Structure 1
Amino acid sequence: MSRPVPRADRESQWLKGVLDLAVLAALAREGSAYGYGLLGSLAEAGLAGLKGGTVYPVLGRLEDEGLVRSEWVVGGAGPARRYFFLTAAGRAALDEGRTGWTAFAGRMTTALEG
């Protein structure tokens, strides 16, 4: 008999499927963000516990896909930071993702309650 999947593991798997969408949404809210600042924004949205080692590869992939762009910004009180910005293609992907997520969440609610 198999053991039930621990809640944290299950939620981790769910998050892997939608982290790109969460990052795009956070950038849309913030306008721009550097990696660790983005972690704070995601934590405020209820996704606490993410690490830079999780988010930076997502940002790199989104940049490779043309959904975000980045630039180095020199700060007065420390080293330069790499800021990420949503592109027009990223905004379109976010809109499409919101629509898809809403439909999927509705189907899951039906499946779970039905």
Structure 2
Amino acid sequence: MREEPFGGGTVDLVVMSVVRAQERTYGYAVGRALAEAGVVGLGEAAVYACLRRLEGRGLVASSAELADNGRARRYYRLTDAGVAHLGQEQRAWRAHIDAVASVVEAGRVG
């Protein structure tokens, strides 16, 4: 059985982090930023599904606007609740990474 590279919480964390960093962005740009950062295994469909899920939870808001090419594009931004939630998730992630690092370093070879 093949494991998925990301759990749902991690997907939410990285997507919300990109939306926050870009302040106002669209789904394709989120996926591109993640790919450029080396986040693999997270396709465009997963990014859009995550954005819809976050919007349903009130953590992300979106608005449809016309892009320069005249086509409609949905832009996303974090809500105030999303900013607060992201801060909590980032602190939890840092604590998790620190705990894993201490275990890995204790068993370090060489």
Q: Scaled by the length of structure 1, what TM-score is found? A: 0.82
Question: How many correspondences in the alignment?
Answer: 105
Amino acid at match of 1:29: A
| Equivalent residue number for residue 54 of structure 1 | 46
Q: Tell me, which stretches of 5 or more residues in structure 2 are unaligned?
A: none
Q: Following superposition of structure 1 onto structure 2, how do residues 56-75 of structure 1 map, counting pairs within 5 Å?
A: 56-75=48-67
Partner of 1:42: 34
How far, CA to CA, are the matches of 1:42 and 1:87 in structure 2?
Answer: 21
**1:94 Cα deviation (Å)?**
0.9
| CA–CA distance in structure 1, aligned partners of residues 60 and 91 of structure 2 | 20
List per-residue Cα deviations over 1:28-51 (Å, max 9, x = no partner).
Answer: 110111111111111222214532
Runs of 4+ in structure 1 deviating by more than 3 angstroms, as ranges, are none
The aligned amino acid for 2:22 is E
Quote the offset at 1:90 in angstroms.
0.7
How much does 1:77 deviate? Answer: 0.9
Structure 2 counterpart of 1:95? 87
Q: What CA RMSD, in Å, does the superposition of the two structures yield over aligned residues?
A: 1.8
What letter corresponds to residue 59 of structure 1 in structure 2? L
State the identity %.
37
**Structure with a larger share of its residues in helix:** 1
Structure 1 residue 53, shift from structure 2 partner = 1.0
SS in 2 for 1:46: coil
CA distance in 2, matches of 1:99, 1:49: 24
User: TM-score by structure 2 length?
Assistant: 0.85
- The Cα shift of 1:95 comes to 0.6
Q: Deviations over 1:86-106 (max 9, x none)?
A: 111111111101110010111
Deviation at 1:109, TM superposition (A): 1.2
- Give the distance between the partners of 2:68 and 2:19, measured in 1 at CA: 23
Amino acid at match of 2:81: A
* Structure 2 equivalent of residue 30 of structure 1: 22
